[in-house]
Amino acid sequence: MIFIANPIYDVVFKYLLEDLNIAKGLFSRIIGEDTESLKVKSQETMH
């Protein structure tokens, strides 16, 4: 059986975006243009 991660779920999406190469490819596909660089910021904030 093959399991495919579904990026609709928050945990899977965060895991995919931790790898910059995967994140660049994902964003390039979404916007339809090449992504030159990404700047990583913290995802969780404490108030």
* Percentage of the chain lying above the pLDDT 70 cut: 83
Residue 22 lies in a domain: yes
Query: Is the pLDDT score of 28 beyond 80?
Result: yes
CA distance 45 to 47: 7
Nearest 5°: the CA angle 32, 11, 38 is 40
Residue 3 lies in a domain: yes
CA distance 38 to 24: 7
Domain that holds residue 24: 1-34
Residue 40 lies in a domain: no
The token duo for 12 is 């899977």
Q: How much is the pLDDT for 13? A: 77
Residue 44 lies in a domain: no
Residue 26 lies in a domain: yes
pLDDT tens digit string along 30-42?
A: 899 998 888 877 7
Query: Is the pLDDT score of 47 beyond 70?
Result: no
Residue 43 lies in a domain: no
pTM of the model as a whole? 0.57
Residue 24 lies in a domain: yes
Please tell me the total count of domains within the chain: 1
Residue 7 lies in a domain: yes
